[in-house]
Amino acid sequence: MSGELAVLVRDIGDAGVAEMSTVPGLAAAVDQHVAEIRATLGVTGHDELMAYLCRFAEDAFNRGWWPESTRDFEFVRIVAVCWLLSRDEHAA
C-alpha cells in the first residue's frame, strides 16, 4: 500500500472507530462487517488483517472509490478491519 493510501486508510479507521461510540447505526454496520470478515478470513490475527486491509483498500481505490460517505460499503469495511486491529492490539 502506498504511503498516501496508508495514511488515508488510517485516518478513515481512526475517525470511524471514534464515531462508532456516538453513532449506533455505524456501530451496527461495523458489527455486520466484522462478522463477514471473520467468516471470510477465519483467522483474524494482525498479519492476516493487515494483508486483507491492504488488498481491500488498494482494490477499492483502483476501482475509483473515494471516501465521500461514512455509510458506504468500503468506508465501513475499512473501519471494521481497523476496529478488529485495535482489538488485536489491546489483546497483545
**Could you give the CA distance from residue 8 to residue 68 in angstroms, rounded to a whole number?**
12
Tens-binned pLDDT, residue by residue, of the chain (92 aa): 788 889 999 999 999 999 999 999 999 999 999 999 999 998 778 999 999 999 999 999 999 999 888 789 999 999 999 999 998 655 55
In 3D space, the residue among 22, 9, 25 whose CA is nearest the CA of residue 79 turns out to be 9
**Cβ contacts of residue 74 below 8 Å, gap of 6+?**
56, 60, 65, 67
How far apart are alpha carbons 18 and 56 in whole angstroms?
21
Q: Which domain holds residue 82?
A: 3-91
How would you class 23 by CB atoms within 10 Å of its CB: exposed for 0-12, middle for 13-18, buried for 19 or more?
middle
**What pLDDT sits at residue 30?**
97
Number of domains in the chain: 1
Question: What pLDDT does 27 receive?
Answer: 95
